[in-house]
Amino acid sequence: MSAPGKPPVVAHTRLELEALLAERAGGGPVGLVPTMGALHEGHASLMRVARAEVEAGPVVVSIFVNPLQFGPDEDLDRYPRTLEMDLKVCEREGVDLVYAPDVEDVYPTWPEQPAVTIDPGPLADVLEGRVRPGHFRGVLTVVAKLLGLVRPDVAVFGQKDYQQLVLIRRMVADLCLPVRVVGAETEREPDGLALSSRNRFLNAEQRIEAAVLHRAIVAAQEAGTYGLEPALGAARAELRTATLVDLDYLTITTPDLAALPEASEAGTRARILLAARLGATRLIDNAPLVLGQTVPTGPTEGRL
Ligand code: PAF
């Protein structure tokens, strides 16, 4: 393990990565935290989860803005690239190795798209996939590549991108990939706003209103005691108090993102997910809830 305060070793190419991993072979289980950089406290918490999972084994962080998961109208060029600052976060968290490649290292034929990609299946066509066609194909393709390059024992992803987490688990199960996927709890600001690289694009007014997403989730969790429709109604009522928030979707599903039966049994475990635009910035959030009984409303759950 790299002592906190000691800079991580940085590999910019697959060859460097392979050589550095070979040097550490036998040094304990390997943990991987895939990121697109612009690291914040939410990413730091993923690194801490990885560290707890592998103890003295090496923690590897990848920093790569994956073009394949951006649509033609999305903010690929606007996506913040802050490698120097990101390396400081990795250093503080005692990360051993950072893989920070350029596009050609990951996609050798770029700008020609790879001929073979991962088909994420029908779950990629709903929720985020409905507004971001092709997004999850890009995510799963790059995650599969990173898993192949780093060959970690454990890979840590945030529950904040819940649909992504569910799809990655599905890929790992369906392709029999030898890695354990850990879903880490969402980190929040004191007013409940989920930490996200996109929060920096909110102006002061939008930033204040953005906390309504979490208030809507808490309202749904509380009203979940009375069932699905009351939970959705409570979340909608909370969202109506905001004037700058343009809701994309609000839904309650099973933890695997399947539709819930209209009348759920008391104690049914579910997930609430929502996405909204504040000006040009699109935010997402989600949390577990139980239909037909109360659940705590504070930090919602631990690792998945
Ligand atoms: O969650 C992210 O930051 C990205 O989707 C991921 C998993 C690093 C793949 O590019």
Q: What is the CATH number assigned to the segment(s) 197-291? A: 3.30.1300.10
- Which parts of 81-198 are beta strand (E)? 97-99, 154-158, 180-184
The model carries a pTM of 0.94
Q: Which residues line ligand 1 (CB under 6 A)?
A: 34-36, 66, 69, 139, 142-143, 161, 164
pLDDT digits (tens, 9 = 90+) for 185-197: 999 999 999 999 8
Q: Where are the domains of the chain?
A: 9-184, 197-291
Residue whose CA lies nearest to ligand 1 atom number 1:
35
* Cβ 20 vs Cβ 11: under 8 Å: yes
Please indicate whether residue 43 is annotated as part of the active site.
Answer: yes
Is 197-291 the same fold as 9-184?
Answer: no
pLDDT digits (tens, 9 = 90+) for 202-214: 999 999 999 999 9
* Cβ 223 vs Cβ 289: under 8 Å: no
DSSP code of residue 180: E
Q: In CATH, which superfamily holds the domain spanning 9-184?
A: HUPs (3.40.50.620)
Inform me whether the pLDDT recorded for 267 exceeds 50. Answer: yes
* Cβ 200 vs Cβ 80: under 8 Å: yes
Inform me whether the pLDDT recorded for 118 exceeds 60. Answer: yes
pLDDT of residue 65: 98
**Closest among 182, 176, 165, 142 to 46, alpha carbons compared:** 182
